[in-house]
Amino acid sequence: MVALNVYAAWVGMLLGCVAGAVGGLFFHREDWLNGYGSWRRRMWRLGHISFFGIAFMNIAFVFSAGALGIERGLAFPSRALIAGAITMPLICYLSAIRPGFRHFFFIPVLSVLAGIGGFLWAMVGR
């Protein structure tokens, strides 16, 4: 199961690069996505960086489990971190399109928190 987190991390980094490249084509335009300080542009930037941030969390999860020799209790945190890797950029980009989607940020936040909490639980129980 943990190997899936490695794939999720590298796919997240790839998508982060693609999102950055797309945004990089237009960032020089002051009015792009309603200007630098606009909600839409901030959500785009947050979506872009969340690909990388949660990818690094997935890699840290995999290497920490290996370094500590943890083999049991990893399925739940693994799934939760992958859910966070999918839902965080998704909610960011959807919020950039329709601000009402911001009400769904609890989904990726709880996913990542559950992943971290589940991993800490597995660390204590080893």
Distance CA(64)–CA(122), nearest Å, equals 11
Distance CA(37)–CA(30), nearest Å, equals 10
Distance CA(84)–CA(113), nearest Å, equals 9
pLDDT recorded at residue 43: 94
Which residues are CB-neighbours of 124 under 8 A, at least 6 positions away?
none
| pLDDT tens figures, 13-71 | 999 999 999 988 888 888 888 888 899 999 999 999 999 999 999 999 999 999 999 99
pTM: 0.92
pLDDT recorded at residue 31: 85
